[in-house]
Amino acid sequence: MEFNDYQEKANRTLYGNEQVLTNCALGLAGESGQLIDLVKDYTFKGKKLDRQEMIHEMGDVLWYLSQIAEWADIPFDEVAQDNIETLNKRYPHGFSPAK
């Protein structure tokens, strides 16, 4: 699926017309926290890292990111492309811990 297609399909589930940016920013923080809790529980509590739960939480994070971009009239493909360009500039030969 293309990022812009995802953004468009996800937007049909956006609710409310006031404080959308604030709602999405707070939702992103909350969902990111849930993903972080999975990693924390795995790292420090010895819990099994549930792949399906990770996919679910990452999807929630993706939804909020896509809707923040939608609110700002930024095509989600542009966000992804800009990030790749930044990574290519920062690590032109890929990441290496030795560098």
Axis crossing angle, helix 76-90 with helix 51-71, rounded to the nearest 10 = 110
Per-residue pLDDT of 32-62, as tens digits, reads 999 999 999 999 999 999 999 999 999 999 9
Domain 3-90 top-level CATH class: mainly alpha
Q: What is the pTM of this model?
A: 0.89
For residue 60, count other CB atoms closer than 10 A to its CB: 17
Q: Residue 95 in 3-state DSSP?
A: coil
50 and 38 in contact (C-beta within 8 Å)? yes
CA dihedral over 66, 72, 76, 79, signed as positive or negative: negative
- Please tell me which residue, 29 or 99, carries the higher pLDDT value: 29
> pLDDT by residue (tens digit) across 20-30?
999 999 999 99
Report the pLDDT value the prediction gives residue 99, as an integer from 0 to 100: 66
Give the integer Cα–Cα distance in Å for 28 and 4. 19
User: What's the maximum distance between 2 C-alpha atoms anywhere in the chain?
Assistant: 49
85: amino acid identity, one letter:
E
Q: For the chain, what are the domain ranges? A: 3-90
3-state class of 92 per DSSP? coil
